Structure 1
């Protein structure tokens, strides 16, 4: 009887071990698959136009029903800024451990910043910093959190936050931008050019199907005397599928930094996309010749 019990014990032990190993492999595979899917989505979004992404949205919704992927894509494609933010928020609540949740929370904070809801923006940036301390978006989140204090007319707290930022964060362009804001705030420099500390050459990006290399028209979304403000707007709009360029120009004896979005062969195409950008970000635009 004792031999039988010993046999059954070893059999059961080996059997359970196999089950446990099998379950671990399945769970690990599921996690890897989810992470791979999210990474593929971001790469795919970067490489395709909004028209191409929209054409696949319904299919993705059907295929990935229990995934943050379709929510993120729908939010990205949504032209109504308020609805887009609502979708991003739902993603962060439903899938808080997803890599896409990090991206989504940053976008919620940026939307509130662009619509001048600085209290709400800072709340989301601070929540992000607390929740995702190792995220690659930490430099951006801390920078905009400090800017929210500055924009809310709280110079003492803003100065303290910016000083801490330049000590801790060395990533560009945020370090140079924060140092510039700090210098202006403490009266060491006037608002103006920061090109000595930050290279303004636009990053090489893949042109999407809605753009033309030889387009004569572009969408102007800002004209600033402060280069820092132009870069700030560019950073806020960086998720869009259009190339965003900062162009320095002398207008009426003043040096201005123009923020241009996209390159279009016709005014109507530029105007149509400008309306979408205006609805999405809540900012004014004009179509100009390059």
Structure 2
């Protein structure tokens, strides 16, 4: 365990076991924390976990005390699954999202931040989650969608602690971005040999809705036109892959995480 983590442990416990929590669980964490001894705090916390094993509070505390981040995420996920309506579910989901964000797994991070916003609209973490969901788009160069989401964020939460960062992001995007029209057709060849087709539509609006879904999660997506028997189809493609194995692996993850069907398309050499 790092020294920094040890120093922040008492603060985290104070946050989690405030006056309301102490009254509900009948355990005097305020008195425990007066020792300022991390080992004593951990010992008392472990006693609480054993005594209240399986409760939302115990599961959250166990995850909070876990030294290995990946195991803590598993425990937070377990808590959210078992007790989605508990007072700890939103902060557990927030911590999961930040774990993926810190690792640079922006698609997974954005999915969890958005889940928090949608499932816990009254959470104190909603504005933070909304900002970081947009930040995931920024990190993956999805500047157009990011720009719109940051504007919405500032409109909804003008007093957020991330308002200054959001304004800076908007300024930077203004320099970098190339918004262009809502739909552009490109004849450029994809760099990879394979892509995933996640939709084929006769009407452009349907293709745009499909593209919007993937952009929402920071997934690179494009629309291509194809003429079949004199009729134009709008194909929605996701990703560019060197091998069919890579394409199938990514496609299976889309199906598992988002319920989207796909087919592998071999691009013309």
| Larger RCO: 1 or 2 (CA < 8 Å, sep 6+) | 1
Contact 1:38–1:100 (8 Å) recurs in 2: no
SS in 2 for 1:116: coil
Asked if residue 171 in structure 1 is aligned to residue 159 in structure 2, the reply is: yes
Please give the per-residue CA displacement for 1:24-62, whole angstroms capped at 9, x wherever unaligned: xxxxxxxx9898339987997899564333212331122
Asked if residue 154 in structure 1 is aligned to residue 142 in structure 2, the reply is: yes
Asked if residue 111 in structure 1 is aligned to residue 111 in structure 2, the reply is: no
TM-score, length of structure 1 as denominator length:
0.49
> Where does structure 1 lack aligned partners over 5 or more consecutive residues?
1-31, 189-290
* Cα drift, residue 172 of structure 1: 3.3
Residues 1-20 of structure 1 aligned to structure 2 (within 5 Å): none
Asked if residue 92 in structure 1 is aligned to residue 84 in structure 2, the reply is: no
Distance 1:135 1:41 in 2: 24
> Following TM superposition, where does structure 1 have runs of at least 4 consecutive aligned residues deviating by more than 6 angstroms?
32-35, 38-47
Residues 203-282 of structure 1 aligned to structure 2 (within 5 Å): none
C-alpha distance 46-152 of structure 1, shift in aligned 2 (>3 A): farther
* Cα drift, residue 180 of structure 1: 1.4
Aligned to 1:135: 123
Contact 1:109–1:124 (8 Å) recurs in 2: yes
Contact 2:113–2:132 (8 Å) recurs in 1: yes
Asked if residue 64 in structure 1 is aligned to residue 52 in structure 2, the reply is: yes
* Cα drift, residue 77 of structure 1: 1.3
Residues 178-217 of structure 1 aligned to structure 2 (within 5 Å): 178-187=166-175
Distance 1:46 1:108 in 2: 30
Number of residues paired by the alignment? 157
Distance 1:92 1:176 in 2: 31
> Where does structure 2 lack aligned partners over 5 or more consecutive residues?
1-19, 177-269
The higher radius of gyration belongs to 1
Distance 1:157 1:46 in 2: 48
RMSD of aligned residue pairs (Cα, Å): 3.0
SS in 1 for 2:88: helix
C-alpha distance 183-172 of structure 1, shift in aligned 2 (>3 A): same
Distance 2:34 2:86 in 1: 19
* Cα drift, residue 65 of structure 1: 2.4
TM-score, length of structure 2 as denominator length:
0.52
Asked if residue 55 in structure 1 is aligned to residue 43 in structure 2, the reply is: yes
Please give the per-residue CA displacement for 1:221-262, whole angstroms capped at 9, x wherever unaligned: xxxxxxxxxxxxxxxxxxxxxxxxxxxxxxxxxxxxxxxxxx
